[in-house]
Structure 1
Amino acid sequence: MGNKSVSFLAIDLGASSGRAMLGIVESGTLELHEINRFKNPIIDIHGRLYWDLFHLYSQILKSLKIAKNEGIEPASIGIDTWGVDFVSFGKDGEPLKMPYSYRDTHTFGAPEKFFEKISRREVYRKTGIQIMNFNTLFQLDTQLREQNPIYPSIDKILFMPDALSYLLTGKMVTEYTIASTSQLIDPYTRKFDADLLSAIKLNENHFAPIVFAGTTIGALSKSVQNQTGCGAIPVVAVAGHDTASAVLATPAANKHFAYLSSGTWSLMGIESEQPVINDTTFALNFTNEGGADGSVRLLKNICGMWLIEQCKKEWDNNDEISYQDIVDAAKQAQPFRCFIYPDAPIFASPNSMIDAIRQFCTETGQYIPQTMGEIARCIYESLAFRYKQVLNDLQKLASFPIDVLHIIGGGSQNDMLNTYTANAIGKKVIAGPSEATAIGNILVQAQTAGLVNNKQEMRNMVAQSFDLKTFLPEDIQNWESHYAEYLQATHNF
């Protein structure tokens, strides 16, 4: 590694907000500076839920202008987003409509309809991807079944980070980690599965060529240069799926760890050299997604801070509160009074999350939480027990002992949940960095620029550059005894 200071711009788009982060690499360390943060709202039009592609594009341009005004011209730019969603383009290279959000209810029940063509087991065998109603495969099949008028006009389908990179450069690619979330990719060949595409009346020509993290897509177009005052900055295909970027930035000392990428979603997994696709992973609905370095992320999607985020919206209607207010209220509430199953369908997109939680507790014969503190405590304790449940399953699948859980992402800042998680799993928890996704994005750009050589060097850099917190398990027997109550309350799921 050289001693020269080099700047990189990470555009990190989550399912509720986006941020532009400037990463400065110097002497084997990384500094991170936020230069723009913005909302990424889901737009409801006549009951259909969309993402505002052009809003995101305009915020990326704004971020470039901010950097330029501060006298910074980054060596490159990389974009990561949430998974599965995509933009359809016509032959003229223009988007046919705004992209649907994975929260759109039209895909409820979609997997079962698709399984009339190809069975659930065969779809899983082909892809190793967790069956979820909003996977790209089922979104596209829903559009086909509903005879969506744009469907016959689709020339190219680009996943969200690739679509935004295309708007910046005019160059179309399909980055592998984001494509791996779609349930359209064979994890062994790393190519699109022809049978699955045929079942939705598409072929591989409907997608841009697959590239791997670290590929330079192209430079900013003349139009973007004119609008921002920037030069022909390269745009790099980073690990386009935010979780793939975050996992890359896990400050692990060796491979004996599991990770929990904690945000709107919680994603818990391990790294594997090969896909793990068998009867056990099929029964447990585990997913095999692409890693930034070609490894496989064997993981489980778990409903995460979505539960708290949705409750907070309702509590804010009375009087705006902070997340710390919610944690403080939860601390005051009586422990272990009731539990929810975070991944129950009732919590996917309810009109009222608070009502959904109370309904779940009513239907399972438990105490019905009333106050903000009781509801928050129920969520946090239930999440900790759900993490324990999934970690136990991961240990059965792992070829190595899992000694530590690394919690990364925004949720890593919640000390109370980290404490609960350590107590529930009975293992050491290391929390941080909170901006793991942006860091992973920047590290791929740094590797492309020749400033870092491999994954372990990246992880060592993260460990040296950011403050981490360690949580050791306490009161294990008490948590273990209440885990049985959680299992009893959630055994139907």
Structure 2
Amino acid sequence: MSNYSLAVDIGASSGRLILGHLANGKLNLDEIHRFENKIVKKNEHFCWDIEALFQEIKTGIKKCNELGIKPDSIGIDTWAVDYVLLDEHDNLLTDAVAYRDPRTDGMMEEVFKIIPKEKLYFETGIQFQKFNTIYQLYALKQTSPEVLQKAKSFLMIPEYFNFLLTGKKANEYTNATSTQLVNAFTKKWDHELLDKLGINKEMFHEILPPKTVLGTLSKELVEEFGFDMKVVLPATHDTGSAVISVPEVEDSIYISSGTWSLIGVENRFPICVPQALKYNFTNEGGIDYRYRFLKNIMGLWMIQEVKRNYHDQYSFAELVKLAENEQQFQSIVNVDDDRFLKPDNMVDEIQKYCQETKQPIPQTPGQIAKCVYDSLAESYKRAINEIEEIFEKNFPRINVIGGGCQNEMLNQMIANVTNKEVCAGPIEATAIGNIVAQYMALGEIHTIQEARTTIKDSFEVKIYKNQYVRG
């Protein structure tokens, strides 16, 4: 075998195809193709352009062939919760409506009238967010019930791409759990919940675990690309793939830092208890049926929007530098307030929040950026304190993974406010987790422990410690 595997990793703002090559116990990465991803307005909704995204996937695969490389396998991961519905002829019944679309406003409360909040949590273990798939589907039921009745296939975004590659339809475990429709203990679709909500349960497919070989490319695509590959299910939820890359899991908390910040620990069983419900923690599925006990916090989306509001005249690095020059300025916003989910203008919304809470109002780009980073660090600290309270133990280390781990100022802020050692890296955590799951499916790596050792030996991690500790 060539030991090449191809990871398709698509986030909320960009996508990439990264080629992994395993040699002498080390994993090497090469970025083959990178492209933009953004929400577009379509049929009065905010949607993802899945047709364009699939064309980008195909472009990246063709680039491999141009380089003379024919990967053994390919795996796709994306963000969670969003989906499409197909009819009996496998035609799209719905657009890929994005989680930031306001159609789910008020839907949580409507669902709670049918299924009590506590029952929903204790059965699924999933964090309450107004954009969870359960509320998206219920919103669709209110506006277009006939579409739900016609639907023969429910596929989440990476599952739809897998269908386009192979012609095979299946739901994958880690992403399925994010819907808030999977029973945390049986790991299957919760038909009781679906029946109570009047949602067509026949459209859901068998839930398959990561490391499953779904199939090979369709005949048409083999002819188009000039070679065949196995299509493997990694953890198709990007955070599920990213957590595989955490180099140290014992006695450590991870922060998967990107457009969203996912803060939590890996666990062997779901924690569906009142205290976890009170703090709104989730129990999403992970590889080998592990659980990602975490909280989903607004992440670098805020600074991405700030950059856009300033017409991209500052790079992310320049915004960090400007923030570093505003050390005396401090105002804190609640990053999880719904007002920051998709505001017309993020800068204006931050200023309004500070005015309403009688804090200093940030005026300059540096002050706005400093406010965002301070607010993120404080939200991380609060979530970490809640984790330690639930587990009744101290976690001395934080592993920051993903693209956000390159923000040295934020890493240092986290170390300072939590008084914990912060280990930053690897950067391409999601793609790495995707690739090693493929290697496990192909028998090149045998266990998650072996995978993590390989990752630790292959990629550097930078250490940050509290600068204000004496002695």
TM-score range, shorter chain: over 0.9
Q: Deviations over 1:377-405 (max 9, x none)?
A: 11111111110100011112226541210
Alignment: residue pair count: 470
In structure 1, how many angstroms separate the alpha carbons of the residues matched to 2:64 and 2:379?
A: 41
Check if 1:255 corresponds to 2:250.
yes
Check if 1:393 corresponds to 2:390.
no
In structure 2, how many angstroms separate the alpha carbons of the residues matched to 1:179 and 1:399?
A: 30
CA drift at 1:41: 1.5
Q: Which secondary structure does the structure 2 equivalent of 1:191 belong to? A: coil
* Amino acid across the alignment from 2:375: S
| Paired position in structure 1 for 2:332 | 339
In structure 1, how many angstroms separate the alpha carbons of the residues matched to 2:328 and 2:171?
A: 47
| Paired position in structure 1 for 2:88 | 91
Compared CA separation, residues 101 and 382, structure 1 to 2 (3 A): same
In structure 2, how many angstroms separate the alpha carbons of the residues matched to 1:456 and 1:364?
A: 47
In structure 1, how many angstroms separate the alpha carbons of the residues matched to 2:43 and 2:352?
A: 28
2:267 to 268, 272, 278: 272
* Amino acid across the alignment from 1:37: R
CA drift at 1:227: 2.1
What TM-score do the two structures reach when normalised by structure 2?
0.97
In structure 1, how many angstroms separate the alpha carbons of the residues matched to 2:289 and 2:384?
A: 23
| Paired position in structure 2 for 1:368 | 361
1:234 to 230, 235, 245: 230
Check if 1:151 corresponds to 2:144.
no
Check if 1:330 corresponds to 2:323.
yes
* Amino acid across the alignment from 2:245: A
Cα contact 1:433–1:466 (8 A) shared by 2: yes
Structure 2 regions of 5+ residues with no counterpart?
none
Equivalent positions of 1:271-350 (< 5 A) are 271-316=266-311, 320-350=313-343
In structure 2, how many angstroms separate the alpha carbons of the residues matched to 1:89 and 1:112?
A: 28
Aligned-residue identity in percent: 39
In structure 2, how many angstroms separate the alpha carbons of the residues matched to 1:315 and 1:46?
A: 28
CA drift at 1:336: 4.8
Q: Deviations over 1:203-259 (max 9, x none)?
A: 54311111100001110001211222222x11001101000000001111x511110
| Paired position in structure 2 for 1:185 | 182
Cα contact 2:137–2:199 (8 A) shared by 1: no
| Paired position in structure 1 for 2:435 | 442
Q: Deviations over 1:261-319 (max 9, x none)?
A: 000000000011110011101111100000112111000000000110001001126xx
Q: Deviations over 1:163-206 (max 9, x none)?
A: 11011000011110000100000010000111211133235431
Check if 1:246 corresponds to 2:242.
yes
* Amino acid across the alignment from 2:386: D
| Paired position in structure 2 for 1:196 | 193
| Paired position in structure 1 for 2:123 | 126
| Paired position in structure 1 for 2:68 | 71
| Paired position in structure 2 for 1:481 | none
Q: Which secondary structure does the structure 2 equivalent of 1:330 belong to? A: helix
Cα contact 1:336–1:381 (8 A) shared by 2: no
Check if 1:8 corresponds to 2:1.
no
In structure 2, how many angstroms separate the alpha carbons of the residues matched to 1:225 and 1:352?
A: 45
| Paired position in structure 2 for 1:486 | none
1:212 to 200, 209, 212: 209
In structure 1, how many angstroms separate the alpha carbons of the residues matched to 2:191 and 2:103?
A: 25
2:450 to 453, 457, 482: 457
Q: Which secondary structure does the structure 2 equivalent of 1:227 belong to? A: helix
Q: Which secondary structure does the structure 2 equivalent of 1:312 belong to? A: helix
Cα contact 1:76–1:234 (8 A) shared by 2: yes
Q: Deviations over 1:332-360 (max 9, x none)?
A: 01335211111111111100000110011
The range that moved more, 143-152 or 348-357, is: 143-152
Check if 1:405 corresponds to 2:375.
no
Cα contact 2:2–2:72 (8 A) shared by 1: no
* Amino acid across the alignment from 1:362: Q
Q: Which secondary structure does the structure 1 equivalent of 2:269 belong to? A: coil
In structure 1, how many angstroms separate the alpha carbons of the residues matched to 2:221 and 2:233?
A: 18
In structure 1, how many angstroms separate the alpha carbons of the residues matched to 2:361 and 2:348?
A: 10
1:35 to 12, 17, 32: 32
* Amino acid across the alignment from 2:293: L
| Paired position in structure 2 for 1:162 | 159
In structure 1, how many angstroms separate the alpha carbons of the residues matched to 2:35 and 2:340?
A: 26
| Paired position in structure 1 for 2:20 | 23
Structure 1 regions of 5+ residues with no counterpart?
478-493
* Amino acid across the alignment from 2:295: K
Cα contact 2:149–2:200 (8 A) shared by 1: no
Cα contact 1:213–1:292 (8 A) shared by 2: yes
In structure 2, how many angstroms separate the alpha carbons of the residues matched to 1:236 and 1:282?
A: 34
Compared CA separation, residues 230 and 399, structure 1 to 2 (3 A): farther
CA drift at 1:87: 1.0
Cα contact 2:16–2:31 (8 A) shared by 1: yes
Cα contact 2:412–2:464 (8 A) shared by 1: yes
CA drift at 1:45: 2.4
* Amino acid across the alignment from 2:334: Y
Cα contact 1:406–1:430 (8 A) shared by 2: yes
In structure 1, how many angstroms separate the alpha carbons of the residues matched to 2:196 and 2:342?
A: 28
The range that moved more, 160-169 or 44-53, is: 44-53
Q: Deviations over 1:70-115 (max 9, x none)?
A: 1111010000010001110101112213210001011112100111
In structure 2, how many angstroms separate the alpha carbons of the residues matched to 1:346 and 1:47?
A: 20
| Paired position in structure 1 for 2:419 | 426
In structure 2, how many angstroms separate the alpha carbons of the residues matched to 1:20 and 1:110?
A: 36
| Paired position in structure 2 for 1:117 | 114
In structure 1, how many angstroms separate the alpha carbons of the residues matched to 2:345 and 2:197?
A: 35
In structure 2, how many angstroms separate the alpha carbons of the residues matched to 1:476 and 1:183?
A: 42
Please provide the CA RMSD for this pair.
1.4
Cα contact 2:111–2:197 (8 A) shared by 1: no
Q: Which secondary structure does the structure 2 equivalent of 1:447 belong to? A: helix
In structure 1, how many angstroms separate the alpha carbons of the residues matched to 2:272 and 2:20?
A: 37
Q: Which secondary structure does the structure 1 equivalent of 2:97 belong to? A: coil
| Paired position in structure 2 for 1:489 | none
In structure 1, how many angstroms separate the alpha carbons of the residues matched to 2:38 and 2:97?
A: 12
